[in-house]
Amino acid sequence: MGKMPALWVTVLILSAAYFRLTAPICCTKESSRYTMCFSKLRTLANIASIYSEDADGMLPPKKWHQPMAAYLKKFHDERPDSAFTCPKVEGEGHVGGYAFNSALVGQQNPPDSLAASIPLFFETDVLGYDKTLSFASLLREGRHGPNRCAVFANGMWKGIPPHSNQ
Ligand SMILES: [Zn+2]
């Protein structure tokens, strides 16, 4: 007698402390994944740009994973394949989650005047490597918050808000 209330108080305090500790950890983790996702997409855009410089201005072909991974290996010696997988998808043990805009596959790198309005790589529900899809296949619900991650042909990244294609 007398010990039970004290135990319950301890349990309540501990669970309150647990929620206070885990809530920020969950959200900070997802926001850091959001940043990491953009960083990966920018890397893909940079590699596609370097690839095109060596290919008379032509962007990578339909099977883009292999040739781009070969370029990545030149610049990053560790885990080049990780660059091709959204951090959330990677955390779930899958690969990919990114699409190369099918409108640009094997095409001339768009001129600067158009590049800012043409998505180059973006998040998609379709997992695996070598996905070439139209921008309509942009992820429906954001993986790291409401916005979906995309990088444009000028190398700039953008969070695409829900219910919007731009
Ligand atoms: Zn992502």
Supply the angle between the helices 3-53 and 65-75 in degrees, to the nearest 10: 100
Lowest mean pLDDT among 9-23, 81-95, 107-121: 9-23
Domains: count for the chain: 1
List the structure tokens of 135.
């921008």
Q: Is residue 1 part of a domain?
A: no
Q: Tell me the residue range of the domain where 50 lies.
A: 6-160
C-alpha 122 – ligand 1 centre gap (Å): 9
C-alpha 115 – ligand 1 centre gap (Å): 22
> pLDDT tens across 152-163, in order?
999 999 999 997
How many CA atoms are closer than 13 Å to the CA of 130, on its beta-carbon side? 7
C-alpha 68 – ligand 1 centre gap (Å): 19
Cα(93)–Cα(146) distance, rounded to whole angstroms? 22
Cα(8)–Cα(126) distance, rounded to whole angstroms? 47
**b/e burial code for range 31-58 (CB count within 10 A of at least 16 → b):** eebbebbbebbbbbbebbbebbeeeeee
Q: Is residue 123 part of a domain?
A: yes
Averaged pLDDT score across all residues of the chain:
86
C-alpha 2 – ligand 1 centre gap (Å): 52
Cα(28)–Cα(31) distance, rounded to whole angstroms? 5
Q: Is residue 44 part of a domain?
A: yes
Q: Is residue 166 part of a domain?
A: no
C-alpha 147 – ligand 1 centre gap (Å): 10
Whether pTM exceeds 0.85:
no
C-alpha 70 – ligand 1 centre gap (Å): 22
C-alpha 96 – ligand 1 centre gap (Å): 10
From residue 10, alpha-carbon distances to 5, 21, 22, 82 in Å are: 9, 16, 18, 43
What is residue 86's DSSP assignment?
A: -
C-alpha 48 – ligand 1 centre gap (Å): 19
Q: Is residue 165 part of a domain?
A: no
Cα(160)–Cα(145) distance, rounded to whole angstroms? 11
C-alpha 94 – ligand 1 centre gap (Å): 12
> pLDDT tens across 48-104, in order?
999 999 999 999 999 999 999 998 888 765 666 789 999 999 999 999 999 999 999
Cα(18)–Cα(87) distance, rounded to whole angstroms? 25
For position 49, what pLDDT does the model report? 94
Q: What is the percent of the chain with per-residue pLDDT over 90, rounded to a whole number?
A: 70
C-alpha 26 – ligand 1 centre gap (Å): 16
